[in-house]
Amino acid sequence: MRRIKKFVIATAALFTSLAIVSPAVVHADAPVDGAGSTWSQIAVDQWRADVARQGLVINFQGVGSTAGRASYYQSQVDFAVSEIPFQAALIDRNGDVAADETASAAGRPYAYLPIVAGGTAFMYNLKASGQKITDLQLSPTTLGKIFSGQVVMWNDAAIVADNPQRVMPATRIKPVIRSDGSGTSAQFTAFLENQASASWNYLCQQANLGSGCAPTSLYPDFPNSGFAAQQYSDGVANYVAAPYNEGAITYVEYGYAKERGFPVASVKNASGAYTQPVAINVTVALLGARINSDGTQVLNGVYTNRDARAYPVSSYSYMIVPTSEASPFSADKGATLSDFIFYFLCAGQQKAEQLGYAPLPKNLVEYGFSAAAKIPGANAAPAIKSCANPTITGDFLVTKTAPTIPGATTVPGTPTVPGATTVPGTDTGTDTGTDTGTEIDTGTGTDTGTGTGTNTGTGADTGTGTDASGIPTPGVAVATSVVIEESDSGTSAFVYLLIMAAILAIVLLPPIVAARLRPSVKI
């Protein structure tokens, strides 16, 4: 009888393990294709390489945000990545409307999904007396003058005033701009319009766009501007890094300067402090962002964030994901894409800081889960407590004050913004309180509260056949203890055989049914 018991227990344990693993094996993973932002590409490429080890194939072309958005609404890719949403009036360098992206995208339903935060940095190549300058400081006003062609020498009085700690060299400035449609350009020109309006208006007039032109993905240029125009983030970064381009400066995501070992300017924030675009400063700055109900961002509060740590040119990028099976998308692709999303929102964010970005806070992760649920064929999101994002596990505590976003899954302990209304609309209220959390724009009202909640939960891998990020891990079973009590009076072998038969039925029937229902499944 003891031998029978041992046999039954061993068999049950074996088949329980197989049952736990089988869902990851049964599912067919279809490759997905994406295109867009080079601002985000360092992170996206790292994450693609990470999930490739799990058998997920994610193809991505860094062609710039504008081209990526066009590829999406033209149904050339499964997803796009961009720093800005679809534009109702995409303006070209002549000031004409080149496209109505919003109307074009209406034929292919979509959702915005945040992927990573970061700082648009000002990478430069400058020496004084043969020594590389690594402590350059620039105010928004001075940046505006440099990138509008009003300041042309590194020893200009405006730059000297920002850098009392050193003697500036008499070297000509070479501003390097993007030649292609770029989310980085859109974010930087929005910053200039808000924080260096005089220089922005001057640039608009010089480029024959009229005074007060709108922020644009195509950086304005004009004859004899002295600008060097290069394609993509790699292009501008490589131009600045070239040894023969001393005096060059460009705007690019911080990771590109970090990869090349080049310094970036410290930018003056609203408190008067000069800060670097490192992860903690980006995250603190973004606590001043206003998040719309569709997940898009309004950054005015970031530019004016008075926390001494805040890096003022901070933002995050979006993935544009399909919410219908319109060609070329399918439910099988949806399963692959959702697994990729769960990885980069969770464990993938652990690599954000070392890559030159900042991890997304919990509220944006939850919004990402909600957006992913709209994707046809999407798998279920992992429990938020098992998400290995450092802002959730406690390794990056500053973002615990971020409030929830309308439409996101609410988790107990996540703070909200006092005084926010639930009526969709435009925020026309007046800030009369102290903002310590990310403001959620859900209507019209006055923000008088302070968001300060604290999350004390710690993630753990409790999923079935998945790692902490929610990515299926074939061949790995979750150990579960099963206790079978002995009876002094003995137990019939027949009972144990019935138990074993039941286990076999539970294990074997689901894969058979799944195989019949999904003939294209790869085993």
Q: Give per-residue pLDDT as tens, 279-331.
A: 999 999 999 999 899 989 999 999 999 999 999 999 999 999 999 999 999 99
Look-up of token digits 């970005």: 357
Q: Give per-residue pLDDT as tens, 118-155.
A: 999 999 999 999 999 999 999 999 999 999 999 999 99
How far is the CA of 55 from the CAs of 25, 27, 52, 351, 375, in angstroms? 11, 11, 5, 20, 20
- In eight-state DSSP terms, residue 153 is B
Beta strand 174-178 pairing with 137-138: unpaired
Instruction: Give me the phi and psi of 245, to 5 degrees please.
Output: -110, 40
Q: Please, are residues 319 and 43 in contact by the beta-carbon 8 Å criterion?
A: no
CA 288 vs. chain centroid, Å, equals: 17
Task: Tell me how crowded residue 345 is: count the other CB atoms within 10 A of its CB.
Answer: 32
Prediction pTM value: 0.74
**Along the 523 residues of the chain, how does pLDDT read in single tens digits?**
544 444 444 444 444 433 333 333 334 579 999 999 999 999 999 999 999 999 999 999 999 999 999 999 999 999 999 999 999 999 888 888 899 999 999 999 999 999 999 999 999 999 999 999 999 999 999 999 999 999 999 999 999 999 999 999 999 999 999 999 999 999 999 999 999 999 999 999 999 998 889 999 999 999 999 999 999 999 999 999 999 999 999 999 999 999 999 999 999 999 999 999 999 999 999 999 998 999 899 999 999 999 999 999 999 999 999 999 999 999 999 999 999 999 999 999 999 999 999 999 999 999 999 999 999 999 999 999 999 999 999 887 664 444 434 333 333 332 322 222 222 333 333 333 333 334 434 333 333 333 333 333 333 333 333 333 333 333 322 222 222 233 343 444 444 455 455 555 554 554 444 433 433 323 2
CA dihedral defined by 298, 300, 301, 306, rounded to 10 degrees? 150
315-321-322 Cα angle (round to 5): 155
